[in-house]
């Protein structure tokens, strides 16, 4: 968890929170959800910095923008959901609910007047209603919100930069597992080797079907595999 203390806003200024995540799909590493709080009439300052969806920026550009974003926003908060937490939670809830709960925590911390967030469900209105049941704040939820709202784009950069740094530290501890995504051959080889040795580290999301498929191929079974979706 990372945050900056919230300062009192100027009277009459509406505060907008943008929320986004990084790392929903990887089989290795945490999911990171970030929120930034900014005065509504200052949102264009983020746009002027060159803030956009983190996936459209190079790692170097995200690194340069990170401190600039923090200078512009009034507050920010980051929730890091570790792989072992995702695994334990998924016995009772799906990934959408886990992420929804993290978003609700961020909103409660930042106390905005309005929330802008991308929908993690096919029906954006349904997702908005589910989040509204947890926090009593007006919410705008649309697909590709990071392309429409500078605050959401800024949150996406904070989330991605934070997760990238965590992944770098994990590689130093556990060895080079690649990106951590199931489509990465280096990640698959890391999992195959770990499962074959019976030493699957806690940074692996054991409930991902990628793990089950690899386990079947090497005739080993990891502990407590509970497959819900492939992601």
Q: What percent of the chain has pLDDT over 70?
A: 89
Q: Which band of pLDDT confidence, cut at 50, 70 and 90, is reported for residue 218?
A: confident
Q: Which band of pLDDT confidence, cut at 50, 70 and 90, is reported for residue 3?
A: low
Residue 217: its pLDDT value, please?
A: 83
* Domains annotated on the chain, with CATH: 2-171 (3.30.420.10), 175-217 (1.10.10.460)
Q: How far apart are alpha carbons 58 and 94 in whole angstroms?
A: 31
**Is 50 exceeded by the pLDDT of residue 178?**
yes
Residue 47: its pLDDT value, please?
A: 87
Neighbour tally for 16: CB within 10 Å: 26
Q: What is the mean pLDDT of the chain?
A: 89
Higher pLDDT, 226 or 87: 87
The angle subtended at Cα 32 by Cα 226 and Cα 131, nearest 5°, is 80
Higher pLDDT, 95 or 12: 95
Q: Is 39 annotated as a binding residue?
A: no
Q: Which band of pLDDT confidence, cut at 50, 70 and 90, is reported for residue 224?
A: very low
Q: What is the largest CA-CA distance in the chain?
A: 64
Confirm if 55 and 179 have CB atoms less than 8 A apart: no
Q: Which band of pLDDT confidence, cut at 50, 70 and 90, is reported for residue 1?
A: low
Residue 227: its pLDDT value, please?
A: 35
Q: Is 228 annotated as a binding residue?
A: no
Q: Which band of pLDDT confidence, cut at 50, 70 and 90, is reported for residue 228?
A: very low
Long-range CB contacts for residues 120-128, cutoff 8 Å, separation at least 24? 120/21, 120/24, 120/96, 121/96, 127/100
Give tens-digit pLDDT for 149-177.
999 999 999 999 999 999 999 999 999 99
Q: What are phi and psi of 224, to 5 degrees?
A: 55, 50
- Average pLDDT (119-124) is 93
Confirm if 191 and 178 have CB atoms less than 8 A apart: no
Q: Which band of pLDDT confidence, cut at 50, 70 and 90, is reported for residue 219?
A: low
Q: How far apart are alpha carbons 209 and 225 in whole angstroms?
A: 8
């Amino acid at each position: 968890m990372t945050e900056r203390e919230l300062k009192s806003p100027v009277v009459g200024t509406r505060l907008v929170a943008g929320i986004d995540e990084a790392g929903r799909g990887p089989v290795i590493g945490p999911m990171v959800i970030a929120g930034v709080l900014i005065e509504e009439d200052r949102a264009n300052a983020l746009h002027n910095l060159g803030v956009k969806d983190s996936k459209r920026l190079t790692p170097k550009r995200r690194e340069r923008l990170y401190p600039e974003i923090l200078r512009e926003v009034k507050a920010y908060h980051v929730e890091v959901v570790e792989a072992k937490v995702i695994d334990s939670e998924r016995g009772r809830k799906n990934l959408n609910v886990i992420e929804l709960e993290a978003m609700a925590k961020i909103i409660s911390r930042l106390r905005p007047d309005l929330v802008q967030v991308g929908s993690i469900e096919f029906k954006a209105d349904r997702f908005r209603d589910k989040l509204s049941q947890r926090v009593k704040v007006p919410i705008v939820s649309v697909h590709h919100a990071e392309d429409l709202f500078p605050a959401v784009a800024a949150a996406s950069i904070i989330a991605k930069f934070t997760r990238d740094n965590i992944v770098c530290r994990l590689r130093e501890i556990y060895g080079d597992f690649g990106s951590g995504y199931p489509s990465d051959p280096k990640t698959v080889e890391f999992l195959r080797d770990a499962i074959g040795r019976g030493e699957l580290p806690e940074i692996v999301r054991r409930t991902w079907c990628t793990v089950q498929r690899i386990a079947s191929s090497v005739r080993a079974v990891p502990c407590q595999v509970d497959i819900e979706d492939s992601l």
